[in-house]
Structure 1
């Protein structure tokens, strides 16, 4: 793979140099640029990308915390194997999903969702107050608007699912918000393109109605069905861009 040229990286860094450098290096690691070459020193990175040593040092520290790098005595900074990467980190997951569409990765993510979102829906039905229920309703209303072309389908769908995580009243579930938001973008794109339509409003409405009715069992079952449908599509082996893939219909 071609390594980004200094002017290309410098342009992409934007206003926040540290996070720009973090993103540039993170993507380079995940895409395999450093698989067969030594990871540069901080001095080399600073010279290569036209930034200060402090910027590269901070970016390297952040990548180390995410499990992508490690520093060893007399060996310098080393790229870690993918098994050491923190997949719960939204940046790492985003870089992985952007690197190459992967059905196994998408399946793994939705298997994780099965263990989180149905229970979050049950808890939301049991504990959500008026404000949280209004947020869930607002997410669904946005999905309806998106179906008519008046909102962004991805943002609306994600807003619905995130509102449920927040409404569960469990701080551990709330911590999954960034992870779910990041991975849902790829998952929803896949299901939308494979099915030739946007999210199933009837299935999402069933979750909403159950939560508003304080029916935890029904909310759990309805959310479970949404995610199981995604897993069924993945099991069929369909992937965006394959010949015969139906185009997505807009509202």
Structure 2
């Protein structure tokens, strides 16, 4: 029980320190407080603090070596595929540049996943895409409902239907950042119904077993979101 309690405390400290590092409160210049100071700050044991330090080091946010102490690492060293790190970045107020980079990653993955789903997808996996699409359409018709969850399910279902295990294992990363991206770009695309029907076109191509059309339509979806971000970036430069 003591071990579990220490772990829970460590996870809480990991979360709080991780958010503080990503937000810039602690950086390469300021460093982190010492173990003793962290114990006082959080009122927990050195064992729990050391567990938190190990977790943060595994995520690339800090390093801890003999005679060096605890050092905050440059942002280039952070593991952006770690969903905790990505969440902390998004919670701290994602920049348009971060969203653009994420869309570039999606553009490299999701059109190919859609093409593979059309070419090799199992009927039962394609049926899951249909279910998520129907949920999107239902949400679009229902006042005070958003497409958020069903939109995420649609994209995750395509990763699954691709049959590529590497793509599917990116689902948590895709879902974490896509959740923020959707909230930012969907309002600029028009009505929820039109968004749902754009996704329906991708599904229809997959169902019809047309890989190149599925690839093209998924690319278009993501490129439209990219155009929204590019316009906002340009507006900021001109302001």
Band the TM-score falls in, shorter-chain normalisation: 0.7 to 0.9
Find 2:150's aligned residue among 153, 156, 163. Answer: 156
Gaps (5+ residues) in structure 2? 1-6
- The alignment covers a number of residue pairs equal to 226
Q: Secondary structure at the match of 1:236?
A: helix
Name the one with the larger helix percent: 2
**Separation in 2, partners of 1:83, 1:201:** 36
Q: Contact 1:194 / 1:238 at 8 angstroms: preserved in 2?
A: no
The 3 A distance-change label for structure 1 pair 102 and 197 is: farther
Matches within 5 A, 1:41-190: 41-149=34-142, 152-190=146-184
Deviation larger for 66-75 or 188-197: 188-197
1:19 maps to what in 2? 11
Any unmatched runs of 5+ in structure 1?
1-14, 243-251
The higher relative CO (CA closer than 8 Å, separation ≥ 6) is in 2
Which stretches of structure 1, 4 residues or longer, exceed 6 Å deviation after superposition? none
**How far, CA to CA, are the matches of 1:145 and 1:19 in structure 2?**
38
CA distance in 2, matches of 1:230, 1:197: 14
- C-alpha distance in 1 between matches for 2:149 and 2:231: 26
Deviations 1:213-232 (A, max 9, x none): 11111111110110010111
Could you tell me whether the CA contact under 8 Å between 2:186 and 2:195 is conserved in 1?
no
Deviations 1:143-162 (A, max 9, x none): 11221237542111001001
Report the aligned-residue RMSD: 2.0
For residue 205 of structure 2, what is the aligned residue in structure 1?
210
How big is the shift at 1:238?
6.3
- Tell me what 2:227 maps to: 232
